[in-house]
């Protein structure tokens, strides 16, 4: 049986929800970043599925760009974590609350 693209999109939804849960529930900022990557990949999966369903290659090009942007964002994010770690000695999100009232 041929797997319809909607199943792939459903899988993408599951992975996205798991990624969101990870961002909200984990306190380690590195793991939070990983969860964000997971969300991005879920979206990529959805794009590819739609591209296949519509028969257009545009979806894959978009995924290409997303991958590129994910790379840039991961680099910058990790650099910020490193800089912050120098001052604070922690990667615990709960303890990074200088901007509180």
Partner 1 sequence: MTASFPALGLILLLPALGVLFNLFLGRRCGRAAVNFVGPAVIFGAFAVGCWAFATLLTMPRGAALAVTLWPWIEAGSFHVDFALRMDALSAVMTLIVSGVGAFIHLYSVGYMAHDEDYARFFTYMNLFMFSMLVLVLADNLLMMFVGWEGVGLCSYLLISFWYSNAEFAYNGRKAFVVNRIGDAGFILGILTLVYALGSHGVWTLTFTGMQAHREILGTTWGPLGCSVATVAGLLLFLGATGKSAQIPLYVWLPDAMVGPTPVSALIHAATMVTAGVYMVARLHFLFIMSPPTMNLIATIAALTAFFAATIALVQPDIKRVLAYSTISQIGYMFMGVGVGAFASGIFHVMTHAFFKALLFLCAGSVMHALDGEQDMNRMGGLWRKLPITYATMLIAALAISALPGFSGYFSKDLILESVYDSGHVGLWLLGVITAGLTSFYIFRLIFMTFHGTSHVDPQRAAHIHESPPVMTIPLLVLALFATFGGWINVPGHFLWGDAFVRFLAPVTGNFKPVMEASPTMLSMLAVAATVIGIAFAWLLYIRQPQLPGRMAETATGLYRTLLRKYYIDELYNTLVSRPLFWIAGPALARGVDQQGIDGLVDGSAMTVENSGEAVRRVETGNVQHYVLVYLFGAVAIAAYYLYLVMR
Partner 2 sequence: MPLGLFIFLAALAVLSALGVILQRNPVHCLMALVLTLLDIAVLFIGLGAVTVGFLQAIVYVGAIMILFLFVIWLLNLRVEQRPSGHPALKLFGAIGAAALFAELCTFVIKAPSTAGLSTVPAGFGSIASIAQALFTNYLIAFEVTSLLLLVAVIGAVALARRPANIAGKQSRSL
* DSSP secondary structure, 65-76, as one string: HHHHHHHHHHHH
Question: Judged by CB under 8 A, does residue 95 bind partner 2?
Answer: no
Give least dist CB 100 to partner 2, A. Answer: 14
Residues contacting 77, CB < 8 A, separation 6+? 33
CA dist 92 and 94 (Å) reads 5
Strand partners, 96: none
Site for partner 2 in 17-76 (CB under 8 A): 17-22, 24-28, 30-31, 33-35, 37-38, 41, 44-45, 48-49, 51-55, 57-61, 63-65, 67-76
Question: Judged by CB under 8 A, does residue 23 bind partner 1?
Answer: yes
What number of other Cβ atoms are within 10 A of residue 49's Cβ? 21
Site for partner 1 in 61-100 (CB under 8 A): 93-94, 96-100
- Select the binding partner of residue 33 from partner 2, partner 1, none (C-beta < 5 to 8 A, by kind): partner 2
């Amino acid at each position: 049986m041929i797997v319809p693209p909607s199943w792939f999109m459903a899988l993408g939804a599951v992975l996205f929800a798991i990624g969101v849960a990870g961002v909200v529930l984990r306190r380690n900022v590195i793991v939070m970043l990983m969860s964000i990557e997971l969300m991005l990949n879920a979206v990529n999966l959805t794009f590819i599925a739609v591209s296949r369903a519509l028969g257009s290659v545009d979806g894959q090009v978009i995924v290409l760009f997303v991958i590129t942007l994910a790379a840039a964002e991961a680099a910058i994010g990790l650099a910020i974590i490193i800089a912050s770690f120098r001052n604070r000695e922690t990667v615990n999100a709960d303890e990074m609350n200088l901007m509180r009232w």
